[in-house]
Amino acid sequence: MAKKFTLKKTERLKSRKSIERLFNAGDNFFIHPFKVYYTVEPGNDALLLQMGVAVSTRNFKKAVDRNRIKRITREAYRLQKNTLQQLLINKQKHLNVFFVFVGKESPSFVQIHEKLSLILERLIQKMDEKNTPNT
């Protein structure tokens, strides 16, 4: 089966309740220039992986700059999420992820792509750590 590199509307984290739960009760870690918030919950058949992106108005005054960073972050995530998605399917888990860009300079696509690959690897490690003691 061919891999699908899509990021549908249902895969975006938009629910205010989910986002608040993510920031209040979720775990987080930092890989420059992103602070990553995530929650792992028991599986849901329809949605296994949802993501969101935020960029600070303090560091980027112009909406054009903020939107560009969010767009390239979503694109880099879309191209790399398949391994994480496959792991979630195998383990029957649901993952909410929120990327907060905290850098002060506008990045290139290559920089974002490299950092997101590190972030996704760390998420996979965290998923394995959480599942190992329970099993």
Q: What is the pTM of this model?
A: 0.89
Q: Which domains does the chain have, with CATH numbers?
A: 9-134 (3.30.230.10)
Low-confidence residues of the chain, pLDDT below 70? 1-3, 44-46, 131-135
Please give the pLDDT value at position 2: 52
Least Cα distance to 27 among 106, 35, 16 occurs for 35
For 11-33, write each residue's pLDDT tens digit. 899 889 999 999 999 999 999 99
Q: Other C-beta atoms within 10 Å of 102: how many?
A: 15
In this predicted model, what pLDDT tens digit does every residue of 61-73 receive, in sequence order?
A: 999 999 999 999 9
Buried (b) or exposed (e) across 1-23, using 16+ Cβ within 10 A?
Answer: eeeeeebeeebebeeeebbeebe
Q: Which two tokens stand for residue 126?
A: 């965290």
Helices (H), 4-108: 16-25, 63-80, 82-91
CA distance 114 to 100: 16
